[in-house]
A = this chain, B = another copy of it.
Amino acid sequence: MAADTPKPDAFLAACPSRDVMARLGEKWTMLVLVALTPGAIRFGALHRRVEGVSQKMLSQTLRHLEEDGMVTRHVFDERPLKVEYKLTELGRSVLPLVDAIKRWSEENLAQIQAARDARG
Protein backbone atom coordinates (compact mmCIF):
# COMPACT_ATOMS: atom_id res chain seq x y z
CA MET A 1 0.00 0.00 0.00
CA ALA A 2 3.06 2.20 0.20
CA ALA A 3 3.25 4.97 -2.35
CA ASP A 4 6.81 3.93 -3.09
CA THR A 5 6.55 4.66 -6.80
CA PRO A 6 5.83 8.14 -8.09
CA LYS A 7 2.83 8.70 -10.31
CA PRO A 8 3.76 7.44 -13.79
CA ASP A 9 4.18 10.16 -16.41
CA ALA A 10 4.93 9.22 -20.00
CA PHE A 11 6.47 12.63 -20.62
CA LEU A 12 9.39 11.55 -18.47
CA ALA A 13 12.10 9.68 -20.36
CA ALA A 14 12.59 7.05 -17.67
CA CYS A 15 8.91 6.27 -17.11
CA PRO A 16 8.09 2.61 -17.87
CA SER A 17 4.65 3.63 -19.09
CA ARG A 18 6.49 4.44 -22.31
CA ASP A 19 7.11 0.73 -22.77
CA VAL A 20 3.40 0.12 -22.46
CA MET A 21 2.62 2.77 -25.04
CA ALA A 22 5.33 1.39 -27.29
CA ARG A 23 3.87 -2.06 -27.02
CA LEU A 24 0.42 -0.82 -27.95
CA GLY A 25 2.04 0.96 -30.87
CA GLU A 26 3.74 -2.16 -32.22
CA LYS A 27 2.70 -3.02 -35.73
CA TRP A 28 -0.04 -5.57 -35.02
CA THR A 29 -0.99 -5.07 -31.40
CA MET A 30 -4.06 -2.87 -31.80
CA LEU A 31 -5.53 -4.88 -34.66
CA VAL A 32 -5.07 -8.14 -32.77
CA LEU A 33 -6.72 -6.69 -29.68
CA VAL A 34 -9.71 -5.52 -31.67
CA ALA A 35 -9.88 -8.87 -33.44
CA LEU A 36 -10.26 -10.47 -30.01
CA THR A 37 -13.40 -8.46 -29.29
CA PRO A 38 -15.99 -11.15 -30.09
CA GLY A 39 -14.49 -13.55 -27.56
CA ALA A 40 -12.31 -16.66 -27.61
CA ILE A 41 -10.82 -17.21 -31.04
CA ARG A 42 -8.42 -19.69 -32.54
CA PHE A 43 -4.98 -18.86 -33.87
CA GLY A 44 -5.94 -19.68 -37.43
CA ALA A 45 -9.10 -17.61 -37.34
CA LEU A 46 -7.14 -14.70 -35.94
CA HIS A 47 -4.56 -15.16 -38.65
CA ARG A 48 -7.26 -14.93 -41.29
CA ARG A 49 -9.01 -12.00 -39.64
CA VAL A 50 -5.90 -9.79 -39.43
CA GLU A 51 -4.93 -9.81 -43.07
CA GLY A 52 -1.25 -9.74 -43.88
CA VAL A 53 0.13 -10.66 -40.49
CA SER A 54 2.71 -13.45 -40.64
CA GLN A 55 2.53 -16.45 -38.35
CA LYS A 56 5.66 -15.26 -36.64
CA MET A 57 4.36 -11.79 -35.92
CA LEU A 58 0.93 -12.97 -34.83
CA SER A 59 2.55 -15.44 -32.50
CA GLN A 60 4.93 -12.86 -31.11
CA THR A 61 2.19 -10.27 -30.67
CA LEU A 62 0.04 -12.76 -28.79
CA ARG A 63 2.95 -13.78 -26.59
CA HIS A 64 3.61 -10.15 -25.72
CA LEU A 65 -0.03 -9.55 -24.92
CA GLU A 66 -0.05 -12.64 -22.77
CA GLU A 67 3.07 -11.52 -20.92
CA ASP A 68 1.43 -8.20 -20.21
CA GLY A 69 -1.68 -9.86 -18.86
CA MET A 70 -4.00 -8.67 -21.59
CA VAL A 71 -4.66 -12.04 -23.20
CA THR A 72 -4.97 -15.62 -22.00
CA ARG A 73 -3.99 -18.68 -24.01
CA HIS A 74 -5.83 -21.97 -23.75
CA VAL A 75 -4.55 -25.15 -25.39
CA PHE A 76 -7.07 -27.90 -26.15
CA ASP A 77 -5.81 -31.44 -26.16
CA GLU A 78 -7.16 -32.34 -29.57
CA ARG A 79 -5.83 -33.53 -32.90
CA PRO A 80 -5.26 -31.46 -34.82
CA LEU A 81 -4.06 -28.97 -32.25
CA LYS A 82 -6.42 -26.24 -31.13
CA VAL A 83 -5.40 -23.08 -29.30
CA GLU A 84 -7.74 -20.28 -28.31
CA TYR A 85 -7.00 -16.76 -27.20
CA LYS A 86 -9.20 -14.38 -25.30
CA LEU A 87 -8.96 -11.02 -23.60
CA THR A 88 -8.45 -10.73 -19.87
CA GLU A 89 -10.18 -8.09 -17.79
CA LEU A 90 -7.14 -5.87 -18.37
CA GLY A 91 -7.35 -6.53 -22.08
CA ARG A 92 -11.01 -5.67 -22.15
CA SER A 93 -10.27 -2.41 -20.34
CA VAL A 94 -8.00 -1.18 -23.12
CA LEU A 95 -10.20 -2.44 -25.91
CA PRO A 96 -12.47 0.61 -26.14
CA LEU A 97 -9.39 2.79 -26.53
CA VAL A 98 -7.68 0.86 -29.29
CA ASP A 99 -10.97 0.25 -31.03
CA ALA A 100 -11.56 3.99 -30.98
CA ILE A 101 -8.15 4.53 -32.57
CA LYS A 102 -8.96 2.02 -35.27
CA ARG A 103 -12.34 3.57 -36.01
CA TRP A 104 -10.94 7.09 -35.98
CA SER A 105 -8.28 6.01 -38.48
CA GLU A 106 -10.92 4.56 -40.75
CA GLU A 107 -13.36 7.43 -40.42
CA ASN A 108 -10.84 10.21 -40.92
CA LEU A 109 -8.82 8.52 -43.61
CA ALA A 110 -10.38 10.54 -46.41
CA GLN A 111 -9.67 13.84 -44.67
CA ILE A 112 -6.06 12.87 -44.01
CA GLN A 113 -5.52 11.80 -47.59
CA ALA A 114 -7.02 15.09 -48.70
CA ALA A 115 -4.57 16.97 -46.47
CA ARG A 116 -1.69 15.03 -48.00
CA ASP A 117 -2.90 15.64 -51.54
CA ALA A 118 -3.40 19.34 -50.91
CA ARG A 119 0.32 19.45 -50.33
CA GLY A 120 1.41 17.46 -53.34
| Interface range, A side | 35 or more
How many chain copies does the complex carry?
Answer: 2
Contact: B101 with A21, CB < 8 Å? yes
Q: Please, which residues of chain B bring their CB within 8 A of the CB of A68?
A: 112, 115-116
Please classify the interface of chain A as helix (H, G, I), strand (E, B), loop, or mixed, using the class held by over half of its residues: helix
Return the CB mask of A11-28 against B: 1 if under 8 Å, else 0. 111011110111011110
Task: Name A17-76 residues within 8 Å CB distance of B.
Answer: 17-18, 20-22, 24-27, 30-31, 34-35, 49-52, 67-70
Return the CB mask of A99-120 against B: 1 if under 8 Å, else 0. 0111011111111111110110
Known interface pairs A25-B26, A70-B112, A100-B100; 20 further A-B residue pairs with C-beta atoms within 8 A, sorted by A's residue number: A5-B110, A8-B106, A10-B31, A10-B105, A10-B106, A11-B31, A11-B35, A11-B49, A11-B51, A17-B105, A17-B106, A17-B109, A21-B30, A21-B31, A21-B101, A25-B25, A25-B30, A67-B115, A67-B119, A98-B101
